[in-house]
Structure 1
């Protein structure tokens, strides 16, 4: 007997060797799973993850939410399918001359995926899709660490640090992208008011108020921070190895 988990895994890995579950009764299927997932991704990209529902996706096909169930399962199943599909790993040249270069290429590629689909950073790690595209990223990263002889006992920590850094900086970059001139002006106004009303601010917090920015343009800071963080991590991974 096929379980819900079996059906979901078949859908996730449908292009990597599994076959889609087929209903035993009812009318022949009229929709395409790839098209359904693409519509869900489009809605999330345009209107945010909260706008995605089986009802909203089904409406694009002039169907009811219930009619979508045989194709994707529950809403959670649909979100997982969207998450994995949107995480498809692009190709990039594997011509790194150092561990830092290789990790920077990996991190930059994932950063761009998150920028293209900002809602991916809203999906917690506890809801990893366990699909092939997400698995590709982890396998590629572990392959980099192995090929540059990073000690095995440091790899899990490195994976956590890299994923966390890329997700956090990409989420910040997406938020910056949504900040209009008014929002930026309000932020500057609060900063100016703070310095005016708390004249000894620099004396109270000498280290934080004198911290040099990663880059002159604050909008570029998340991307620059990724590169800088990867470099620091690469140095740490090779110390005493």
Structure 2
């Protein structure tokens, strides 16, 4: 990415926070709204997955060509980064509760719900962070919580890593459960039953894992319940 391309991309990312959108040096004045373009792109990803997003597919929503979209979003990778930050606006939840643990749980569940609303976010690796203002807001809010707890500086980065990883993993599993139909659930149960029949000493071989108590009896609720329990566990370790 050239310096000019990077500069234009950052201007697009921060367009609502103090920068101005780049304008073409020649040709007709831009007529589309970047926010509308990103809404359309996110809609495609929400419905059909990230692989379905292309500048051609997005441009077609506006009766334009892929080349005509370039002045608005840049390259496809820049489009994906813009989408990622665009959908990541921090929700205006009420001031959390009275405890630090409640504060942290509110943050984790809000990010979890964001990933459920846009499951394709888990397809974007951390190395592809958009580095935009909305994603920055999430980090700032989390570090603010850790700061109020007076968590030592050397523990904050590991805590951040654990929390983001837990949210991402649990949301990815919850999204997979949501896509699983009755046949898929039945197939999973059939494999489990067959395993117990064919390996009758399974519990003796793996006493710890087979004896692990679930966080909730409802398997579809397990990702959310597991995230809440993990946040509480981490809260106890940090406080």
Instruction: Tell whether the structures are fold-level matches, with TM greater than 0.5.
Output: yes
Quote how far apart the aligned CAs of 1:100 are. Answer: 1.1
Superposed CA offset, 1:4-57 (max 9, x none): 000000000000010000011011212111110000000000000000000000
Any gaps of 5 or more consecutive residues in structure 1?
none
Match of 1:67 in 2: 68
In the TM superposition, what are the counterparts of 1:194-209 in structure 2 within 5 Å? Answer: 194-209=195-210
Quote how far apart the aligned CAs of 1:99 are. Answer: 2.0
Task: Name the CA distance, whole Å, in 2 between partners of 1:4 and 1:165.
Answer: 34
Match of 1:43 in 2: 44
Match of 2:100 in 1: 99
Match of 1:84 in 2: 85
Contact kept? 2:96, 2:106, Cα under 8 Å? no
Match of 2:132 in 1: 131
Task: Name the CA distance, whole Å, in 1 between partners of 2:96 and 2:52.
Answer: 40
The normalised TM-score by structure 1 is 0.97
In the TM superposition, what are the counterparts of 1:128-207 in structure 2 within 5 Å? Answer: 128-207=129-208
Quote how far apart the aligned CAs of 1:149 are. Answer: 1.3
Task: Name the CA distance, whole Å, in 2 between partners of 1:7 and 1:113.
Answer: 27
Runs of 4+ in 1 over 3 A off after TM superposition: none
Q: 1:121 to 1:2 in 2, by over 3 A?
A: closer
Task: Name the CA distance, whole Å, in 1 between partners of 2:236 and 2:208.
Answer: 24
Match of 2:230 in 1: 229
Number of equivalences = 238
Task: Name the CA distance, whole Å, in 1 between partners of 2:143 and 2:89.
Answer: 17
Match of 1:114 in 2: 115
The normalised TM-score by structure 2 is 0.98
Task: Name the CA distance, whole Å, in 1 between partners of 2:50 and 2:86.
Answer: 15
2:151 counterpart SS class = coil
- What is the Cα-based RMSD across aligned positions, in Å? 1.1
Task: Name the CA distance, whole Å, in 2 between partners of 1:11 and 1:3.
Answer: 12
Task: Name the CA distance, whole Å, in 2 between partners of 1:154 and 1:95.
Answer: 23
Quote how far apart the aligned CAs of 1:2 are. Answer: 7.0
